[in-house]
């Protein structure tokens, strides 16, 4: 199915110094950081009509968009692809000419990080999720300003920033000024899934990096582990993600860990939707007071392998977070959970497709935003 991804217009962000840009959104530039002069990275689209979109089709777990490229020599970031209607698109082949080794370089870096710390796979998928849900997939979560999205309450426990910094540095050493931090993050999430036995998908590329960060939006829109379906479904619907997308993306909790503070209320509530033995065991590592940062595995059976045991646990009322167990609690999503338990291949396919749709959320393209040299700072 052909899907056209429109651009996110931020015309008011094209000019001015970084401090002014951030202050316009109510965010203060960190004066302790050395401000760098803006640099030109061919911010405009040039001769875009020479590269028409020729075809787009669903392939495997993702969507491949095949492009025709001319032989014109290019300097700086690749041009955005323009479809016949003039809408800017993302493309899986975006860097084929300008940085052909980009994906291999990122994969090598992410592979090393996950080999060193298996938990990092879950962290990178979560980092991409938290970035995309706040003003689109634009690497705004990576900016170190004051205040920043990193410091937002609902981003507590998010990690993996240094892994993205390392992957970006590796790409910069091969193709300086070409690949955005937003694209590095999107590719890293896919590669992290593969490293722990999860599905792969074709990542559409061509995102640019934001000039702003929005901690207020992070605290208003990001889901919490204490939420039920009545809150979660509308949050995902706001992002044009379906109930099935929501359940599939929640399946990322088949890997990773959660802090005691995020599930304490559930294990001490004595509710009928939690297995008593499961709750009792969890209390040994999560006391009623203190120990907020104590970690527990989201999937006690196979915590470092991407599989459907997360959903099997829900059938036994052994979901760690309230938002986990809400997926199987006599409500509308029960049937989807059961489908995934019965058909693991369907879960992997749905998860990959949902990750593609999430990765398409409001990308900055064309002359909007910039290609950051460092993911933590504006150019």
Catalytic (active site) residue 130: yes
Which string of b and e fits 163-196 if b means at least 16 CB within 10 Å? Answer: bbbebbebbbeebebbbbbbbbbbbbbbbbbbbb
Sequence ranges of the binding site for Ca(2+): 131, 134, 136, 138, 140, 149, 254, 299, 302, 307
How big is the chain by its Cα radius of gyration, in Å? 21
Residue 209, SS3 per DSSP: strand
What is the C-alpha to C-alpha distance for residues 107 and 351, in angstroms, rounded to an integer? 20
Sequence ranges of the binding site for substrate: 223
Q: Using the 8-state DSSP alphabet, how is residue 274 labeled?
A: S
Torsion angle, alpha carbons of 255, 256, 260, 264, to 10: -20
What is the C-alpha to C-alpha distance for residues 200 and 189, in angstroms, rounded to an integer? 10
Sequence ranges of the binding site: 131, 134, 136, 138, 140, 149, 223, 253-254, 299, 302, 307
Bridge-based pairing of strands 53-59 and 62-67 is antiparallel
What is the C-alpha to C-alpha distance for residues 84 and 280, in angstroms, rounded to an integer? 60
Query: Which of the residues 10, 41, 128, 130 is marked catalytic?
Result: 130
Other CB atoms within 10 Å distance of the CB of residue 239: 16
- Annotated active-site positions, please? 130
């Amino acid at each position: 199915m052909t899907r056209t991804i429109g651009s996110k217009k931020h015309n008011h962000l094209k000019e001015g110094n970084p401090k002014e840009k951030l202050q316009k959104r109510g965010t203060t530039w960190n004066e302790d950081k050395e401000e760098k002069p803006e640099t030109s990275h061919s911010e405009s689209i040039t001769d875009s009509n020479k590269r028409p979109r020729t075809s787009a089709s669903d392939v495997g777990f993702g969507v491949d968009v095949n492009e025709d490229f001319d032989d014109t020599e290019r300097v700086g970031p690749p041009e955005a692809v323009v479809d016949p209607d003039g809408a800017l698109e993302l493309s899986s082949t975006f860097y084929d000419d300008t940085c052909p080794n980009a994906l291999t370089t990122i994969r090598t870096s992410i592979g090393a990080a996950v080999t060193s710390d298996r938990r990092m796979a879950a962290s990178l998928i979560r980092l991409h999720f938290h970035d995309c849900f706040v003003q689109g997939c634009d690497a705004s979560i990576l900016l170190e300003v004051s205040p920043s999205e990193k410091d937002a309450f609902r981003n507590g426990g998010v990690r993996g920033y240094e892994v993205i910094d390392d992957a970006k540095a590796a790409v910069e050493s091969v193709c300086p000024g070409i690949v955005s931090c937003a694209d590095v993050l999107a590719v890293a999430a896919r590669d992290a899934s593969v490293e722990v036995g999860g599905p792969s998908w074709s990542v559409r590329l061509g995102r640019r990096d934001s000039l702003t960060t929005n901690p207020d939006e992070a605290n208003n829109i990001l889901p919490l582990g204490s939420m039920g379906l009545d809150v979660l479904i509308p949050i995902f619907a706001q992002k044009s993600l379906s109930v099935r997308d929501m359940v599939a993306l929640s399946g990322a909790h088949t890997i990773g860990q959660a802090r005691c503070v995020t599930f304490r209320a559930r294990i001490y509530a004595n509710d009928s939707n939690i297995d008593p033995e499961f709750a009792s065991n969890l209390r040994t590592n999560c006391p009623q007071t203190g120990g907020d940062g104590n970690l527990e595995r989201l999937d006690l059976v196979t915590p470092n392998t991407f599989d459907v045991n997360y959903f099997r646990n829900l059938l036994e009322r052994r979901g760690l977070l309230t938002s986990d167990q809400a997926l199987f609690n006599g409500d509308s999503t029960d049937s989807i959970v059961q489908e995934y338990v019965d058909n693991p291949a369907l879960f992997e396919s749905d998860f990959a497709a949902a990750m593609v749709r999430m990765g398409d959320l409001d990308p900055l393209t064309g002359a909007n935003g910039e290609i950051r040299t460092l993911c933590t700072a504006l150019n």
